[in-house]
Amino acid sequence: MRFNVISYLFKEGIKNVFKNKKSTISSLMIMCATMLIFGLFFVIGENINAFVKEIADAQGIRVFLINSATDSEIEEVGKELLEIEGVRDVRYISKEEGLESMRETLGDEIIAGYTENNILPASYEVKLTDLELNEEVQKDILQIPNVEDIESSNPVIEQIIRLAKGVKIITAVILILLIVISIAIIANTIKLTVHARRKEISIMKYVGATNSFIRWPFLVEGVIIGVIAGLISVGIVGALYTYFYGKLSGTIFMDIANLKLIEFKDMFELILIVYLGLGAGIGAIGSAISMRKYLDV
Amino acid sequence: MIEFRKVCKKYGTGTMALKNVSFNIQKGEFAFLVGSSGSGKSTLIKLILKEEEPTSGNIIINGKDTTFLKQGKVPYLRRSMGVVFQDFRLLPDKTVYENVAFAMYIVKATPKHIRRQVPMVLSLVGLSGKAKMYPSELSGGEQQRVALARALVNNPSMIIADEPTGNLDPDTAWDIMSLLNEINMRGTTVVVATHAKEIVDQMKKRVIHIDKGVIVKDDKKGGYNCEI
């Protein structure tokens, strides 16, 4: 397509946006409102994810081997551990190393009696790619022969994982609601412009305009509304998040819980892409839906 | 150029709008399509424009059978015809120039081509001086000239006019008809559906008279009234 045709189609689309100011503004407001609710859960989810990931990096599963395991059997267990899905890294801890690390945490006196007669089993420290796989990996590990027992992450982590899952589900549900509501709103707005310009559309058809040519300005209109809603929402989410970030970080509560919030600038790109993509996609689908009826002549 | 072969059109409501209609309008011909309201004239025009599909029979336009034309090809068929309506159908928020240029944008003409072509057709219809005016500032006859300029601007091989003088006083109606005649002299096929009995009688052109969906008379140099 030639440049002048493209610029013509864009100009028409932009004109459409301003022609129906009332419905454009109301659909912008509704889209922003739904995008903000989505954004709230999105940033909470991002923070929990970051937190979970940090724990996952630190936390591992300790796999204790039976005392009678031979060197080759120990090696075999190590190989099998690496083959389990969700295992990122495996580190062997010999009896001596185990005792050494215990000395560091408990002190010389308590373990003094054990230095001669080391009853600590040899073990592996398993790190996971994803904490959510914790339970399944544990089950798999217990299947491996010569494994005596495992010591897993504490129950708090399980709860955090459950929380993260819950937030993810809520975010997904809200996202779907956002998409459905916004598509309906945009479709309605565009229907109004299509209706206002039906005379023009019929003339275009008689002069031999292709359907795609007729559709473009309305598509542009939908995408513009969606993108504007996305930009406004990014701005509001950014402002609110930065405000609460300033209020929360450094407080005693956050220190005790050992929580660190993500800075907004680290999420900015992701949020911008998600919002613009959502806005443009919703706008395009909404206008496509509202155009369908008008084009079969 | 426009050929109907045993065309029937039955609407969903059960109305038989056209019954076994056959005719052939040659390239360069000027033909009137006359008949009272509800005679099937409008249906015939709609069939030519492919706004409606025939129930049976074939319609051949420019040597191509359009009966089974795919929906996506219809715009390209319509580019070979310029259409004029009784109610002008101009865009009120665009100037005369823009209304005509609009038809060229739609077929993706180059800006250079548009700048050259639009003033040319405006002078052909005698509206060179009113290019910057809006439709509301023009008389009915002038508005119909703009519509005619728009129909002509993409150099169609035929002009289809549906009651082009229906909203005009007799003098202005004559102006439009002579303009159509002039366009026909330049080689464009012209089909005019009309009620304007006097004009039809005086112009001595081919008249296809249709009544209750049937062609009752097809007179090469006829008038409106005919004995059946």
pLDDT tens profile A5-52: 788 788 888 888 887 788 788 888 888 988 888 888 888 888 888 877
**CATH code for the domain defined by A60-152:** 3.30.70.3040
C-alpha gyration radius of chain A: 29
Residue A183: what residue type? I
Contacts of A189 (CB under 8 A, 6+ apart): A20, A23, A24, A26, A27, A222, A225, A286
Mean per-residue pLDDT, A90-99: 81
pLDDT band, very low/low/confident/very high, at A237 (cuts 50, 70, 90): very high
Min Cα–Cα distance to chain A from B76, Å: 6
Q: Mean pLDDT across the stretch A46-75?
A: 79
Identify the pLDDT of residue B227.
46
- Higher-pLDDT residue of A140 and B131 is B131
**Cβ–Cβ contact B78 with A under 8 A:** yes
Quote the mean pLDDT of chain A.
82
**A204 Cα to chain B: minimum distance (Å):** 7
Q: What mean pLDDT comes out for the span A87-96? A: 82
Tell me if the pTM is above 0.90. Answer: no
> How many angstroms separate the CA of residue B110 from the nearest CA in chain A?
8
CB contact under 8 A, B89 and A5: no
Considering only CB atoms, which chain A residues are within 8 Å of B103? 207
Confidence of residue A114 (pLDDT cuts 50, 70, 90): low
pLDDT at A151 over 50: yes
Residue spans per domain, chain A = 3-54+158-295, 60-152
B108 near A CB under 8 A = yes
Burial category of A97 from C-beta neighbours within 10 Å (exposed 0-12, middle 13-18, buried 19 and up): middle
Across chain B, the runs of DSSP E, i.e. the strands, are 2-10, 16-25, 30-34, 56-61, 64-65, 81-85, 158-162, 189-194, 206-211, 214-219
Within an 8 Å CB–CB cutoff, is residue B77 touching chain A? yes
Q: Is B103 on the interface with A (CB under 8 A)?
A: yes
pLDDT value, residue B228: 43
Say yes or no for a CB contact (<8 Å) between B79 and A207. yes
Which among A203, A213, A297 has CB closest to B89? Answer: A203
Is it the case that residue A126 has pLDDT exceeding 60? yes
Percent of chain A with pLDDT over 70: 90
Would you say residue A296 has pLDDT above 70? no
| Predicted local confidence at residue A155, as pLDDT | 64
Q: What angle do CA B71, B88, A198 make, to 5 degrees?
A: 50
pLDDT higher at B206 or A123:
B206
Residue of B70, B104, B108 for testing the chain A interface, max A β-carbons within 10 Å: B108
- Residue A278: CB partners within 8 Å, gap ≥ 6? A35, A178, A179, A182, A226, A230
Of the candidates A2, A209, A213, the beta carbon closest to that of B110 is on A2
For residues A88 and B124, which has the higher predicted lDDT (pLDDT)?
B124
> Contacts of residue B91 in chain A, CB cutoff 8 Å?
199-200, 203
Residues in chain A closer than 8 A to B108 (CB atoms): 1-2, 5, 213
Mean pLDDT of successive 10-residue stretches along chain B, which has 228 residues: 93 90 94 90 92 93 90 90 92 92 88 94 93 95 95 94 91 92 94 90 92 88 59
Residues of B in contact with A199 (CB under 8 A): 89, 91
| Residue, of B114 and A61, whose pLDDT is higher | B114
pLDDT over threshold 60, residue A186 = yes
The mean pLDDT value for A94-98 works out to 79
Q: Nearest chain A Cα to B109, which residue?
A: A5
CA distance A295 to chain B (A): 10
Q: Which residue has the higher pLDDT, B151 or A63?
A: B151
Q: Do A208 and B107 touch (CB under 8 A)?
A: yes
pLDDT given at position A156: 67
Cβ contacts (< 8 Å) between A8 and chain B: which residues? 105
A203, A211, A213 member nearest B91 (Cβ) = A203
Shortest Cα distance from A55 to chain B (angstroms)?
Answer: 58
DSSP string over A233-277 = HHHHHHHHHHHHHHHHTTSHHHHHTT--PPPHHHHHHHHHHHHHH
What does the pLDDT look like over A243-279, one tens digit per residue? Answer: 988 888 777 777 766 677 888 888 899 999 999 999 9
Q: What is the pLDDT of residue A111?
A: 66
Looking at residue A67, what is its pLDDT? 79
